[in-house]
Amino acid sequence: MRLDPKGPMKSDIELVEDVKAGDRRAFSELVQRHQRALLRLSLRFLKELSIAEDIVQESFIKAFEKIHLFEGRSSFKSWLFQIAVNTAKNRLRGLPREFVNIDDIHLGVDPGAESGMVQGDFRRAIRAEVERLPERQRLALTLRIFEDLSFKEIAQIMACPYDTAKANYRHGLMRLRERLEELQGETDWKDFETLVHVEGGRMRTEAEQ
Amino acid sequence: MSREPRNSPDDRWVDDWWIDLIEGESTPSMREDLTLLLMNSPAGRRRLDSIKDLRALVKGSDEVPMPEDGAFYQNMHDRIMAAVDGAAAVRRAKPAAAAERKPLSAVSARQLGFPALFGTHTLMVLIASATWMTSDRSPRHAQTQSPNPPAQDAQRPKKALADAQAPADRARRPGAKADPPDSK
């Protein structure tokens, strides 16, 4: 649903102004634009689709009710993400661990496997280690690497200074690296370094292309 | 991923520089310095590449099972808008309801009318009377609560009154002489 298919697409900030003026359709447009990204973000915290949908809905309702407080000093998307992150955190407090735990992810490697780890295990191990990072480091890393947000946006979502957001990201990445090296020692991953280099290099090349 | 020792604070600083370079957060002068360093330091180049590889690996590990069906998102949008409309309706209704609910002080006697005012007054008097009758001060309550028998209790004030009135009564009795005044 576009506001005016013939006219130029309005920016988020313009749509927010329209919503403040009482235009319901403008909010509908904002929902269309951001619901997918918000669902993806929610699914990172809460593995259950139905709960993630609830978070998205609740976040949009809160955004609508508080939209008069949005002053446009940051992007609407990061403001919305901030609401969603806080809503998800509140929800996580009331949930049993199985919705958010990564314990069910198989980290170990078959002891009899001589050929080293397969790509799937390796990726699962990385995902599991990302989830084991301290909350703020994980949030900074997730928002930066997975959501491609700027540090300014991340700082706003995390409600912290810019440098703190960057520091959380750096520490998270380095901690992840250390942890993966420890895992290398704990397992039979003989070709760990090669795998990192080859897999990482391949993904990096794909990303750069 | 190289296994060079990097636990010293200096190494961590250098890692921060590499990360800033990868993330496009370096200042122009820092970028120049790091570029120069990379040209002369194979170890630095390996380190930078390993961090880049790690970042790419983390990004490649992303696996969020997102619904692909367009109808799913249309339904979600419709549900959100219905919920938003509901919230907006509640918000509109709240001030209206608040305006309708006037405090009692805002209601004048004229609006109530004389009969209503009289009725209220009567009701308050009745309530006050009932409260007083059931309280400790009421005579009924004293009768039921007193440890002495009611007959004795009732006679006490009568006896005291009779004692006080006895000289006067004797004076008023026909044929009786009043006590002579104290001549001493």
Q: What are the tens digits of pLDDT across the range A2-33?
A: 545 556 788 999 999 999 998 999 999 999 99
Which of B66, B77, B84 is the closest to A61 by Cβ?
A: B84
Q: Is the pLDDT of residue B3 over 90?
A: no
Domain endpoint, select from B43, B60, B77: B60
Q: How far apart are CA B142 and CA B150, in angstroms?
A: 10
Q: Is the pLDDT of residue A114 over 50?
A: no
Number of domains comprising chain B: 2
Residue B139's domain spans which residues?
110-165
Among A88, A130, A134, A87, smallest CA distance to A105 is for A130
User: Is the residue at B81 inside a domain?
Assistant: no
Q: Which residue of A126, A149, A182 is the best one to mutate when testing the B interface, meaning the one whose CB has the most B CBs within 10 A? A: A126
Assembly ipTM: 0.72
Q: In Å, what is the CA distance from B10 to each residue of A10, A90, B14, B53?
A: 48, 39, 6, 22
Residue B173: the pLDDT is 56
User: Is the residue at B149 inside a domain?
Assistant: yes
Radius of gyration of chain B (CA): 50
User: Is the residue at B153 inside a domain?
Assistant: yes
When pLDDT is cut at 50, 70 and 90, the band that residue B5 belongs to is very low
SS3 of residue B175 by DSSP: coil
> Are A41 and A86 spatial neighbours (Cβ–Cβ below 8 Å)?
no
> B139-159 burial by CB neighbour count: b if 16+ within 10 A, else e?
eeeeeeeeeeeeeeeeeeeee
User: Is the residue at B178 inside a domain?
Assistant: no
Residue B22: the pLDDT is 93
Q: How far apart are CA B2 and CA B53, in angstroms?
A: 11
When pLDDT is cut at 50, 70 and 90, the band that residue A55 belongs to is very high
When pLDDT is cut at 50, 70 and 90, the band that residue B30 belongs to is very high
User: Is the residue at B71 inside a domain?
Assistant: no
User: Is the residue at B121 inside a domain?
Assistant: yes
Secondary structure of chain A as H, E, C letters: CCCCCCCCCCCHHHHHHHHHCCCHHHHHHHHHHHHHHHHHHHHHHCCCHHHHHHHHHHHHHHHHHCHHHCCCCCCHHHHHHHHHHHHHHHHHHCCCHHHCCCCCCCCCCCCCCCCCCCHHHHHHHHHHHHHHCCHHHHHHHHHHHHCCCCHHHHHHHHCCCHHHHHHHHHHHHHHHHHHHHHHHHHCCCCCHHHHHHHHHHHHHHHHHC
Residue B184: the pLDDT is 38
Q: What are the tens digits of pLDDT across the range B76-125?
A: 999 999 998 888 788 777 766 666 665 555 555 556 667 777 888 888 99
Which of B52, B56, B76 is the closest to A56 by Cβ?
A: B76
Min Cα–Cα distance to chain B from A155, Å:
14
User: Is the residue at B144 inside a domain?
Assistant: yes
Domain endpoint, select from B24, B43, B60: B60
- Could you tell me the domains of chain A? 12-98 (1.10.1740.10), 102-208 (1.10.10.10)
- CB within 8 Å: A35 and B16: no
Q: Which residue has the higher pLDDT, A91 or B6?
A: A91
> Are A107 and A124 spatial neighbours (Cβ–Cβ below 8 Å)?
yes
User: Is the residue at B46 inside a domain?
Assistant: yes
Residue A186: the pLDDT is 66
Q: Which residue of B57, B64, B72, B79 is the best one to mutate when testing the A interface, meaning the one whose CB has the most A CBs within 10 A? A: B57
When pLDDT is cut at 50, 70 and 90, the band that residue A172 belongs to is very high
Q: Is the pLDDT of residue A195 over 70?
A: no
